[in-house]
Amino acid sequence: MPEQARPAELRPRTDKSRPPVSPRAIPVLSVWVRDLIISLAISAFIIVFLYQPVKVEGTSMMPSLDDQERIFVNKYVYRLEPIERGDIVVFRYPRDPSKSFIKRVIGLAGDRIRIEAGQVLVNDVALDEDYVPPAYADQRSYSEIIVPANSYFVLGDHRTMSNDSRDFGPVHVGYIYGKAVFGYWPMDKMGRVR
C-alpha cells in the first residue's frame, strides 16, 4: 500500500536573531519616514527661499547686533515691499561678492547724503539716529553724494568700527539679498531686530 502524503509539519522557529516583524510596524514606519521627508522639504524651502539663519561677525552693528549673534534674514520680503530707510540689510560686499555684510540703510536712490562731524544729513535734514549711542558715534565727515538709481547708502551703527558706504560707496540693489528680522541667540537678545 502506497504511503499517503502527510501534511507538512509545523516546526517551531529556531532563528532567534530576528524577531518577527509586526504587521503594524511597517505602516507606522512608512508614515514616520513620509512625515520626516515632508518636514525636511518644508525646512529646505523656508531656508532657501524665505528665512536664512546667519551669524553676525564683527562689531560694526553694535549695539543693535552683537558679534556672534544669530539672526534670521528674510530673503523674500523685498519682493513684496521696498527697501526703506532704517532697514538692516544683508548684502554681498561690492568689492568681494563672496563676503556678506550687514548694515543699516541711511539713504535711498536720489537722496543727497552728507556727514558733518559725525552728524548725518539726508536732503539737508539732520537724521535722528537713536540707534547710535554717543559712545559709538564718531566725528568723521563725508562730502555730499547723491545716491544713484537702484542703490542705497548704508552705515554701520558702530560708526567708529564700521566699513560701510563711506568707504565703498552706495550699494546696488542687486547685491542686497535680505533683511535682518529676528534675533534668536543669545536668548537675552531674542526678538525682532530694530
Catalytic residues: 60, 103
Phi-psi region of 86 (alpha: psi -120 to 50; beta: other; left: phi over 0): left
Residue in the structure block whose three cell numbers are 549711542: 133
Amino acid letter, 18: R
* ∠ CA 64-49-155, rounded to 5°: 30
Could you give the CA distance from residue 112 to residue 106 in angstroms, rounded to a whole number? Answer: 11
Cell numbers for 63: 549695539
Could you give the CA distance from residue 21 to residue 18 in angstroms, rounded to a whole number? Answer: 8
Full strand arrangement of the beta sheet holding 112-116? 125-126, 119-122, 112-116, 142-146
